[in-house]
A = this chain, B = another copy of it.
Amino acid sequence: MTPETIKIACSNCNLRELCMPIGLDTAELERLDQIVATRRKVKRRDTLFRHGERFTSLYAIRTGVFKTRVTTADGRDQVTGFQMAGEIIGLDGIVNDRHACDAVALEDAEVCVMPFERIEALSREVNGLQRHVHKIMSREIVREHGVMLLLGSMRAEERLAAFLLNMVQRLHARGFSESELMLRMTREEIGSYLGLKLETVSRTLSKFVEDGIAEVQQRHVRIVDAAALRRIVDSPAC
């Protein structure tokens, strides 16, 4: 909860390609900088926002990894996604002016706070931004379709294979290794996301190790045989 007032312009942010629209001219780019009100640091385990809180802003992740989760009155909860640098969170809050899920930092993190009113005002004038906002929301809808497919029709191995491939692919797009990754979440959080129990996640990872598909040391995972993982994901339902 330490609001940071240091401003770094979007126009020279190294995450611009991931988080902001491309194809804007210089004048438009400078107007974009107005969108980010402040930066905010969030410590590990702290929430960026919590379900029920008033919605005011979207957040662009600068550093760190978040999880979002929905919780029910009876104590069930479901991780709905893991978000990393360059990704936008908070879209769930727009419908009802209140957030519908919690966003929790899995490691110390920093976000750009973008008041939604500013986004709306500017996107009325900068067509590229308007389109970009629409695309971000649409992308989230399509992503969730993919998760529904995973939860609705894949077996444990397939889910975990898809999860690992997805994580490593997103990390690779951010300049990290194509084959090694450091998981920022527990087995239980992975399980919640994939609709599995933590023991099943652990066992399935062990199986990948046995089969020579991956090497696992706690949170550190090295994908030895990515092709095998892809084969598991694409295996015709069994």
Contacts and interface: CB of A to CB of B under 8 A. Distances in A.
Interface of A: 70, 72-78, 80, 91-95, 100-101, 120, 123-125, 127, 130-131, 133-135, 137-142, 144-149, 151-154, 192-195, 234-237
Contact of A131 (B93, B120, B145, B152): B120
A123 B148 CA distance: 31
Contacts of A193: 152
A131 B121 CA distance: 11
A173 to B, nearest CB: 16
Given A80-B148, A95-B138, A123-B130, 6 more contacts: A94-B138, A101-B145, A137-B138, A140-B141, A147-B148, A152-B195
Interface hub of A195, A234, A237 (most chain B Cβ within 10 A)? A195
A138 B152 CA distance: 22
Nearest to A101: B145
Given A76-B237, A236-B75, A237-B74, A192 B134 contact: no
- The majority secondary structure among interface residues of chain A is helix
A28 to B, nearest CB: 15
A236 B74 contact: yes
Nearest to A78: B149
A137 B94 CA distance: 9
B134 A120 contact: yes
Nearest to A73: B234
B142 A92 contact: yes
B142 A100 contact: yes
Given A140-B141, A141-B137, A153 B195 contact: yes
Residue with the greatest number of chain B CB neighbours at <10 A, chosen from A127, A142, A235: A142
Give me the 8 closest cross-chain CB pairs, A-B, nearest first.
Answer: A94-B138, A152-B195, A151-B151, A144-B144, A137-B137, A78-B149, A95-B138, A95-B139
A138 B93 contact: yes
Contacts of A140: 141
